[in-house]
Amino acid sequence: MSLAICPGSFDPLTLGHLDIISRAARMFDSVVVVVMFNSGKSPAFTVEERYAFIRKSVAGIPNVEVDTYEGLLADYCALRGADAVVRGLRVMSDFEYEFQMALTNNSLHPQTETIFLPANREYMFLSSSVVREIARFGRDISPFVPPEIALDIQARLCGKEKQHERG
Ligand code: ADP
């Protein structure tokens, strides 16, 4: 049984992420999407929210599981006995960070290989931060996120913006 891990912040999940997850699910027997929460970033959504968005969005893909992890990706890979980490590459500027992460994981846990999938050209310039920005200003994010979660994201971020305006 081959197992791949798709790690990320997913703050929130976008169609670009979902494209990478679906493609990984066609290449491996099972895929675990793991929301990592040890990075220095201060996320807009809680781990529980991000986890719930992904669960809703991958419900139709039977070999995909969702998890959360606080710690090093290499340790999670060892824990799960993963064959591969699958990451998406959009533009050249992704490359340096991704390459550094792959090399670090390889030195900590060489049993898990990193595989890069090129972004779908439709989602090349799509990121969670773009989605957050559009949603905060009340514009429609449905072209960028799975339909199951669009309204929840919109309501949450738009509501937050209004609270700031009042506060
Ligand atoms: P991280 O904070 O670990 O970079 P992200 O949630 O930003 O987490 O991204 C998770 C993975 O998804 C990364 O491999 C990233 O390159 C990839 N990714 C993000 N957006 C897209 C996109 N639009 N198309 C393809 N891959 C993407």
Choose between 42 and 28: higher pLDDT: 28
Q: Decide if pLDDT at 86 tops 60.
A: yes
* Cis status, amide bond into 110, omega within 30 of 0: no
Q: How many angstroms separate the alpha carbon of residue 158 from the centre of ligand 1?
A: 23
Summarize the confidence of residues 100-112 as an average pLDDT. Answer: 97
Average pLDDT over residues 9-37: 97
pLDDT tier at 167, thresholds 50, 70, 90:
very low
Question: What whole-number distance in Å separates Cα of residue 65 and Cα of residue 87?
Answer: 16
Let me know if residue 114 belongs to a domain: yes
Pocket of ligand 1 (CB under 6 A): 8-10, 14, 16-17, 20, 87-88, 90, 94, 119, 123, 126-128
pLDDT at 160: 59
Catalytic residue, chosen from 41, 139, 142, 162, is 41
CATH number at residue 40: 3.40.50.620
Count Cβ atoms within 10 A of the Cβ of residue 86 and give its class: 0-12 exposed, 13-18 middle, 19 or more buried: buried
pLDDT of 132 above 70: yes
- Mean pLDDT is lowest, of 122-126, 143-147, 160-164, for 160-164
Query: Would the pLDDT of 24 be above 90?
Result: yes
Give a yes or no: residue 167 inside a domain: no
- Rounded distance, CA 124 to CA 110, Å? 29
Residue 81 lies in a domain: yes
List all residues 6 or more positions away from 80 whose beta carbon is below 8 Å from its beta carbon: 3, 5, 32
pLDDT at position 128 over 90 = yes
Alpha helix positions (H), the chain:
15-27, 47-57, 73-80, 92-108, 128-136, 150-166
The residue range of the domain holding 19 is 3-124
Q: Is residue 65 part of a domain?
A: yes
